[in-house]
């Protein structure tokens, strides 16, 4: 069973205050499913929602290192109230070694996958 991370509007309102204009999330989602909410080359952010509640956030970057990822992830950490050096260390380890590294804080689980020279990050709620 997938757990709710946060209501989309709540996340969007907080997140958009923390990021530059090019990285702001779209205003609203019309139904259940997966939605691309940020698309700024080389990075995309997709959310999976049910009844306007986010269950999964997926960040994909064509590059292992981009300041856009840092800006997005820091804003998500703040908006989800889960900031932790554990996530930064997992990210750095994943991109350095080209592997998958998982970190958790405040019941938020983040899987960093840096295989194949690209970065894929999945954020979910545990418990």
Q: Residue 103 phi/psi, 5° resolution?
A: -140, 155
**pLDDT digits 0-9 by tens, 23-76:** 999 887 878 889 999 999 999 999 999 988 999 999 999 999 999 999 999 999
State how far the Cα of 104 lies from the Cα of 99, in Å rounded to an integer: 17
Whole-number pLDDT of residue 1: 55
Neighbours of 29 (CB within 10 A): 18
Give the whole-angstrom CA distance, residue 25 versus residue 44.
Answer: 11
Could you tell me the two tokens for 78? 């703040």
Average pLDDT rounded to a whole number, residues 88-109: 97
Delimit the domains of the chain by residue range: 6-125
Alpha-carbon distance of 85 to 49, in angstroms, equals 27
């Amino acid at each position: 069973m997938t757990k709710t991370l946060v209501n989309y509007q709540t996340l969007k309102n907080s997140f958009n205050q923390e990021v530059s204009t090019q990285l702001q999330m779209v205003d609203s989602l019309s139904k259940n499913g997966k939605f691309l909410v940020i698309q700024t080359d080389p990075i995309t952010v997709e959310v999976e929602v049910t009844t306007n509640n986010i269950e999964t956030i997926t960040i994909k970057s064509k590059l292992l290192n981009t300041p856009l990822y840092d800006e997005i992830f820091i804003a998500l950490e703040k908006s989800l109230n889960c900031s932790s050096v554990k996530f930064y260390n997992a990210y750095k380890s994943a991109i350095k070694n080209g592997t998958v590294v998982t970190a958790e804080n405040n019941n938020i689980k983040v899987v960093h996958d840096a295989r194949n020279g690209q970065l894929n990050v999945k954020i979910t709620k545990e418990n």
